[in-house]
């Protein structure tokens, strides 16, 4: 018997089983980067069989593609081109923009116009749009009303059969920033799931989606931001295969005299939501992050009472309100 040959076979088998063992070992990876004027954080558990550089490349390519379609800050994006299109001109809608627009229109209709993606004119007027106008005093009422008229979403015509969009009136401009981050989070989840990953969390600028378990093999938990002057514990939300998105006035605002105006505008009045209301933030928990993102913005416009009625239209979603006043008692309210 040739022991030398058997020895070689055994050694090869041992090396192969070490390699297989190593490749099957589960570990956690953290990816981070910048997109949409904010940052993203992705945590996922994977084995050595998963090609990390391919995954990173796919995620970066996805984010670029979403931005190329939906960033109003990029004058060459699809949405900026649509905003420059002539009245009646039929513009073909690419895939990401199509999905985001469809969700926008559902929430716009359900909210009776509190959520309105055709309000870019108003966002710009108050200094929150891509024209980056510096606003130091309230725009005149007539100007607000005139621009508000141009934001009538009824003048946006989405042709389902041709997957195209046209504006029926001059001055109408769209913006999908209220739900694009959530949409991108969902699309990254599709990429991770496509690589066979089950345990992960994805966050873009505070909009989050989780799957499976966290690194401690427990359900994922997300801490909600509290007002700066509140020193109690942050409320925590447990998520199971869910998403959470938060809207509030603490990220982006302007101050005019003594009033703080948030970047979220009530298209029904033409005025931004002011920070002096009792509501600090709204978080919506939903199966998909795109819907959570759109609903959180809508609820911040509507305030607590109106939102509680509105949210009944979305039975698989939940809403949490964080109040400025008396946060220890009424910090979180759910449906
Ligand atoms: P979010 O941070 O997700 O609440 O989104 C805020 C962004 O959504 C703003 O910067 C605007 O671009 C846009 N936005 C503000 N108000 C509204 C509204 N009432 N309906 C739809 N989009 C809005
Ligand atoms: Mg939102």
Token code pair at residue 172 = 């109408």
DSSP 152-202: -GGGEEEETTTTEEEESSTT-B---HHHHHHHHHHHHHHHHHHTT--SEEE
| Ligand 1 neighbourhood includes 243 CB (under 6 angstroms) | no
What is the pLDDT averaged over residues 312-333? 77
Residue 16 in tokens: 């192969």
pLDDT value of position 335: 43
Cα distance from N-terminal residue to C-terminal residue, the chain: 77
Question: Is-contact 32 21, C-beta < 8 A?
Answer: no
Please give the distance, rounded to the nearest whole angstrom, from the Cα atom of residue 265 to the centre of ligand 1.
7
Looking at residues 297-310, what average pLDDT do you find? Answer: 95
Which pLDDT score is estimated for 324? 83
pLDDT on residue 32: 97
Tokens of 311: 């949210």
Quick check: CB of 117 below 6 Å from ligand 1?
Answer: yes
Contact 43, 200 (CB under 8 A): yes
Q: pLDDT at position 232, please?
A: 84
**Residues, the chain:** 335
Give tens-digit pLDDT for 138-164.
Answer: 999 999 999 999 999 999 999 999 999
Which residue's entry shows tokens 């989050």?
A: 208
Which numbered ligand comes closest to the C-alpha of 175? 1
pTM of the model: 0.92
Query: Which token pair is 14?
Result: 């041992």
Task: Report the pLDDT averaged over residues 170-179.
Answer: 95
Task: Give the C-alpha separation, 290 to 100, whole Å.
Answer: 8
CA distance 30 to 13: 33
Across the chain, mean pLDDT equals 91
Query: Hunting for tokens 């509030």 — which residue is that?
Result: 248
C-alpha distances out from residue 271 to 126, 143, 166, 242, 249, Å: 8, 11, 26, 33, 14
* pLDDT score, position 104: 98
C-alpha distances (whole Å) from 248 to each of 45, 134, 226 are 31, 21, 11
Measured from the Cα of 272, ligand 1's closest atom is 16
User: Nearest to residue 294, comparing CAs of 264, 333, 251?
Assistant: 264
pLDDT digits (tens, 9 = 90+) for 3-49: 567 677 767 766 666 666 666 688 999 999 999 999 999 999 999 87
Question: What whole-number distance in Å separates Cα of residue 12 and Cα of residue 241?
Answer: 42
Which protein residue has the closest C-alpha to ligand 1 atom 7? 178
């Amino acid at each position: 018997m040739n022991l030398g040959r058997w020895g070689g076979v055994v050694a090869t088998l041992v090396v192969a089983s070490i390699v297989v063992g190593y490749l099957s070992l589960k570990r956690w990876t953290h990816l981070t980067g910048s997109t949409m004027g904010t940052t993203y954080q992705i945590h996922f558990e994977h084995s050595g069989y998963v090609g990390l550089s391919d995954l990173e490349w796919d995620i970066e390519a996805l984010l670029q593609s979403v931005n190329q379609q939906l960033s109003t800050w990029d004058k060459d994006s699809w949405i900026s081109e649509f905003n420059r299109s002539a009245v009646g001109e039929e513009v073909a809608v690419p895939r990401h923009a199509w999905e985001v627009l469809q969700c926008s229109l559902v929430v716009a209709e359900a909210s009776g116009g509190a959520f309105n993606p055709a309000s870019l004119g108003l966002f710009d007027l108050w200094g929150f749009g891509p024209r980056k106008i510096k606003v130091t005093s309230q725009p005149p009422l007539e100007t607000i009303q005139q621009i508000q008229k141009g934001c009538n979403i009824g003048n946006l015509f989405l042709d389902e059969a041709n997957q195209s969009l046209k504006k029926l009136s001059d001055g109408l401009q769209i913006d999908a920033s209220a739900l694009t981050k959530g949409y991108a989070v969902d699309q990254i989840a599709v990429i991770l799931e496509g690589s066979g990953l089950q345990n992960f969390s994805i966050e873009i600028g505070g909009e989050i989606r989780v799957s499976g378990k966290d690194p401690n093999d427990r359900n994922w938990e997300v801490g909600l931001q509290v007002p700066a002057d509140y020193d109690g514990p942050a409320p925590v939300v447990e998520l199971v295969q869910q998403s959470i998105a938060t809207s509030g006035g603490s990220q982006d605002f302007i101050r005019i005299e003594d009033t703080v105006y948030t970047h979220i505008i009530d298209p029904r009045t033409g005025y931004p939501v002011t920070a002096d209301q009792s509501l600090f933030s709204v978080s919506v928990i939903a199966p998909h992050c795109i819907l959570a993102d759109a609903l959180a913005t809508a609820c911040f416009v509507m305030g607590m009472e109106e939102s509680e009625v509105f949210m009944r239209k979305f039975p698989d979603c939940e809403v949490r309100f964080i109040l400025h006043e008396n946060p220890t008692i009424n910090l979180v309210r759910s449906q």
